[in-house]
Amino acid sequence: MTGRLKSRHKRLILLAGALAALGIATMLVLSAFRKNLVFFITPTQILSGDAPRDRAFRIGGMVRAGSLQRQADGVTVDFVVTDLAHSVKVHYRGILPDLFKEGKGVVAQGRLDAHREFVADQVLAKHDENYMPPEAADALKKGAAVAANTGTGKERP
């Protein structure tokens, strides 16, 4: 009888250890996921203070026509992303995608600097004439409605 209890006790301890290990692994995966989660934010949300200060996020909208400025080094660019209601200046050092154009949709990933300008680590252009992330399309529609109701949107160069 004591041998049978020892065997059952060992299995119970093994099962408890396996469940604890599984719980710890799940917590680590969820923690890593939260840290790497990238938010999609519009220029309107940035200017209203809704953008995260402590982590990277994505800004989406249209590249404002006439806003693209290339620096002398050939790889640093500044441009303005707008949701048709508000605009935010974006600074990027790198090679822009072939499909990047003024007046077209763009999503940039990076952080806000101390001057509330967006410093991008990555710039993504839309894939074809029909594609735009649903969040960006919704934001542009809302921005156009706000701009139509107020005349011109509050813009930040």
pLDDT tens, position by position, 41-68 = 899 988 888 888 778 889 999 999 999 9
- 106 pLDDT more than 80: yes
Q: Where are the beta strands (DSSP E) in 53-117?
A: 57-63, 69-70, 76-82, 87-93, 105-112
Q: Which of 55-64, 115-124, 128-137 has the lowest mean pLDDT?
A: 128-137
Which residue type occupies 77?
A: V
Q: Cα dihedral sign for 79, 124, 111, 147? A: positive
Q: Which phi and psi (to 5°) does residue 144 adopt?
A: -65, -40
Which of 59, 41, 37 has its CA nearest to residue 50?
A: 41
In this predicted structure, what is the pLDDT of residue 38?
Answer: 61
Look up tokens 């203070």; give the residue. Answer: 49
d(CA 122, CA 83): 19
Where does the pLDDT of residue 35 fall: very low under 50, low under 70, confident under 90, or very high at 90 and above? low
In this predicted structure, what is the pLDDT of residue 32?
Answer: 79
d(CA 61, CA 140): 7
Q: What share of the chain is helix, strand, coil (3-state, %, to 5)?
A: 35, 25, 35
Burial (CB count <10 Å: 0-12, 13-18, 19+), residue 40: middle
pTM for this entry: 0.62
